[in-house]
Structure 1
Amino acid sequence: MAQQYDEISDRLAEFIGKQHLFFVATAARDGRVNVSPKGLDSLRVLGPQRVVWLNGTGSGNETAAHLREVNRMTLMFCSFERQPLILRLYGTATEVQPDQPEWDSLAGLFPPMTGARQVYDVSVDLVQTSCGYGVPFMEFAGERPLMEQWADKKGPDGLEVYQREKNVRSIDGFPTGLRV
């Protein structure tokens, strides 16, 4: 049975802190819905209604484009070990890019990430848990080093070129607002 809360409790913040994977969902008014898996050490709970997550350079930049159209975001966490649980955080988000004053303090909450392009500062207005009975057991085997290796190999200039080519428009043609 789903339960709804106004804020992230200490118990749920502890659960979030133990997760190796979360999912981000966004959608513009028109076009495709985007759901992206996120890993690495890229999320922090900063308060009962505030979460931030660090976003690396990827094959697209749907989240940024969608937020410019409709500012809504859902984060989902699933327990793959022990006690079943699905946790969703609903809210709005502010995008912070490396040229903004808040960047250093927010990006500084995370280990360095070559190719980091945004921090999303999420204001949570609804927290929902559900049973998770249908989620399989899975074991965490470790982080993949491939994203960091890829970004290191490209270097700063190569990442900038890649972002200009792949990250300034969504797959539906919406601008992402990425300043490269």
Structure 2
Amino acid sequence: MGKVFAEIDQKLQAWIEQQPVWFVATAPLSAQGNINLSPRGHDTLSVLGPHRVAWVDYSGSGVETIAHLRENGRVCLMFNSFGARPRIVRLHGQGTVHLPGDVVFDEVTALHPEHPSTRAVINVEVHRISDSCGWGVPVMEFVGERDLLRQHAEKRGVQGMEAYRATKNAVSIDGLPGLPVSR
């Protein structure tokens, strides 16, 4: 059986920050809606306190995480060790979306390398922290980060990325509002 933590302490924070990939899950309120589970990587995540994490959100082919958080805020982040010592940690919380010009956006993006694909910052107030064994997860080796998002965004340029977001990130696959079209 796993452990439930009162807060993200320094030891847990260090372990979380060592994980090269993590996952974020959200869902719309509608039972007919689609649950979304997305992998994340790069230097995007910040542990900002014992009950607060945030990440720099890059443009993607969809906008489900943002749309679901704007609708209901429910979110679960999962960190998984693929190294020799198995472990899974889940952070359950209430997430909010912050766009360029917002104080939280500026606070979090200042902690990470600038990236041309940055579209938002997601802030999570964590209300439950738990871990489990991870014994069934394979041991794998981290080779390196992919640079395809950066290349994609640099090739499109600022105006091209705005046009991309206007067509790909304005509405979720369930028809929920995503990013505002004109920012």
TM-score bracket for this pair, using the shorter chain length: over 0.9
Is 1:27 aligned to 2:54, yes or no?
Answer: no
Cα separation, 1, equivalents of 2:92 and 2:6: 10
For residues 103 and 3 of structure 2, the distance between their equivalents in structure 1, rounded to whole angstroms, comes to 38
The code of the aligned residue for 1:96 comes to: H
Could you tell me which runs of 5 or more consecutive residues in structure 1 were left unpaired when the two chains were aligned.
none
- Cross-structure match for 1:55: 57
- State the Cα distance separating 1:11 from its structure 2 match: 1.5
Distance 2:180 2:8 in 1: 30
Pairing 1:1-180 to 2, within 5 Å after superposition:
1-30=1-30, 31-180=33-182
Number of corresponding residues:
180
TM-score, normalising length: structure 1:
0.96
Counterpart of 1:16 in structure 2: which amino acid?
I
TM-score by length of 2: 0.95
Q: Which amino acid aligns with 2:178?
A: T
CA apart distance, 1:158:
0.4
Query: What is the CA deviation profile of residues 48-101 of structure 1, one whole-angstrom value per residue up to 9, with x for unaligned ones?
Result: 101010110000010111012211110000000021000000000121101323
Cα RMSD of the aligned pairs, angstroms, is 1.1
Identical-pair percentage: 46
Q: Distance in 2 between matches of 1:178 and 1:55?
A: 15
- Measured in 2, the distance between the counterparts of 1:94 and 1:170 equals 16
Which ranges of structure 2 fall in alignment gaps of 5 or more residues? none
1:122: Cα distance to partner? 0.8
Shifted more, 60-69 versus 127-136: the winner is 60-69
